[in-house]
Amino acid sequence: MSGDATKGATGSTCLVAGATGYIGGRLVPELLKAGHRVRCLARSPGKLRDHPWAADVETVRGDVTDAGAVAGAMRGIDVAYYLVHALGTGSGFEETDRRAAQVFGAEAHRAGVRRIVYLGGLTPRGVPAHELSPHLRSRAEVGQIFLDAPVPAAVLQAAVIIGSGSASFEMLRYLTERLPVMVTPRWVRTRSQPIGVQDVLRYLVASANMPASVNRTFDVGGPDVVTYLEMMRSYATVAGLRRRLIVPVPVLTPRLSSHWVGLVTPVPRSIARPLTESLRHEVVCHEDDITAYVPAAPGRPLPYGEALALALRRVQDAEVATRWSSAAVPGAPSDPLPTDPGWAGGSLYRDERTMTVDAPRESLWKVIEGIGGDNGWYSFPLAWAVRGWLDRFMGGVGLRRGRRDAERLRVGDSLDFWRVEEIEPGHLLRLRAEMRLPGLAWLEMYAERDGRGRTVFRQRALFHPRGLFGHAYWWSVSPFHALVFGGMARNIAQAAAKGMSSHPDGRHGVR
């Protein structure tokens, strides 16, 4: 039976198990947008409170292996999404996944749920289960448990999902960014069919309205079949990195290569190892039957290059890039979320300083807004001057631009070798660096009040490195941060306390 799954039944009550995870956190707002009501099942509901949709969903605490908690969460549910995987919990993750799926399927049946939707891994055809990696074998087993349950299930099977926060994508990101030359295992020549997270979510949302007769797996992938080597080289191109030299060798076994991945990337070894072991399998779609229920939208599914560009857009587009520093609400599923693990999203180095200021917040803001130009930068002047000379030498703008107005700033103003990216009057000034750097940099300054009503100055420098040289640059200058950024924070606080827009030395506030 075929039909447009985006039409017909709407307004279902959906349970999302795994809302704190990579896909779950991005699926919830898409379900709400489609007119569904959403209940989230999470072991740690507090992790969801920073999402903008937190007030629009019902959240219940519980573990998917706890039959009582699952039974309570299933009451009144029409469609149950299972987006939980025990990957990363240790060697017993297969048994945990098996038990959780059995509980979920049984309680869905008791509660009268009309459909289960599960996102699993794309598995190679014709490979016996015992020859699959533990990761893929467990994903396939969970899918089969749901297909054997009395509740109709739509089991979507995907390979690498392209989007910030996806563990497989983050491994690809770190390997490509950090290693201009790679001696790699043979699996870099293994073919895969990656898919953008936007398309995965579109299929998941539409699966809620599939006919009751549908109980099967669906292979989902983008239009491109590529090797991991091609994926890394494309990443380098889109990210603006130099072409990577990649040399596959036969001596690196999956076990050894998982140690190598763990050494180079911040992805936890408990996650990297099973994922790396799975890379030996070719994962390519063998059917496209889901289009009978979810007709392709114009330009969808996205080609690999376009999905990759969206995943990296926040480090290419100045306006999107501010989300690195502001932790703002993401504008697209490929953007980061508050619940993403700390190792996701690429490297972001920080230098943060906080000072209590003996002055009204208005006085502190006056100093912040007056920074730069003739007022200087309230720290070691020679360091700023040398940095400006170096920037000029490398073809950059240096410090010669000064500022448009001695007292007021507005978004878009040039400020020495910075650009004003955001102003919240009386509270925040965010500057984006325009000097020559092997990466992207921001400087944020906040005027705030603490719980005791005291004025607080908060300063944050952020740097997103580009390639190995970017990482080397940060570590080479970080020993001087206490002098430059620490001195800046102290002198700005002191200038505000004295009611001055510059330090008594007349310019840079040297101490």
DSSP string, 267-286: S-HHHHHHHHHHTTS-B--S
Question: Which of 106-115, 168-177, 501-510 has the weakest average pLDDT?
Answer: 501-510
Q: Could you tell me which residues are beta bridge partners of residue 458?
A: 354, 446
Q: Confidence class of residue 100 from pLDDT cuts 50, 70 and 90?
A: very high
Per-range mean pLDDT, top range of 239-253, 273-287, 343-357, 430-444: 430-444
Residue 427 pLDDT:
94
Query: Residues 473-485: what's their mean pLDDT?
Result: 85
182 three-state secondary structure: strand
Query: Residues 205-228: what's their mean pLDDT?
Result: 95
Residue 134 has pLDDT above 70, yes or no: yes
Query: Of all residues in the chain, what percent carry a pLDDT higher than 70?
Result: 79
Q: How far apart are CA 352 and CA 403, in angstroms?
A: 25
Residue 321 pLDDT:
33
Q: How far apart are CA 414 and CA 81, in angstroms?
A: 49
| 284 closest CA partner among 478, 92, 507, 124 | 124
377 three-state secondary structure: coil
Amino acid at 320: V
Residue 1 pLDDT:
36
Question: Which of 116-120, 298-302, 343-347, 504-508 has the weakest average pLDDT?
Answer: 504-508
Domains, the chain, ordered by start: 13-315+322-326 (3.40.50.720), 349-497 (3.30.530.20)
Q: Could you tell me which residues are beta bridge partners of residue 148?
A: none
Structural contact between residues 195 and 162, judged by C-beta atoms closer than 8 angstroms: yes
Residue 510 pLDDT:
33
Q: Mean pLDDT for the chain?
A: 82
Global pTM exceeds 0.85: no
Q: How far apart are CA 244 and CA 263, in angstroms?
A: 19
- 362-399: buried (b, 16+ CB within 10 Å) or exposed (e) per residue? ebbbbbbbbbbbebbbbbbeebbeebbeebbeeebbbb
CB burial class (10 A; 0-12, 13-18, 19+) of residue 414?
A: middle
How many other C-beta atoms are found inside a 10 Å radius of the C-beta of residue 234? Answer: 19
Q: Confidence class of residue 143 from pLDDT cuts 50, 70 and 90?
A: very high
Q: Confidence class of residue 35 from pLDDT cuts 50, 70 and 90?
A: very high
pLDDT tens digits for 53-94?
Answer: 999 999 999 999 999 999 999 999 999 999 998 665 556 788
pLDDT tens digits for 352-406?
Answer: 999 999 999 999 999 999 998 888 888 876 666 666 666 566 666 665 677 888 8
Phi/psi of residue 290, nearest 5 degrees: -65, -20
How remote is the C-alpha of 461 from its chain's centroid? Answer: 20
Query: Residues 410-437: what's their mean pLDDT?
Result: 88
500 three-state secondary structure: coil
Q: State the residue for tokens 């502001």.
A: 326
Q: Confidence class of residue 330 from pLDDT cuts 50, 70 and 90?
A: very low
| 220 closest CA partner among 117, 88, 97 | 117
| 257 closest CA partner among 235, 272, 236 | 272
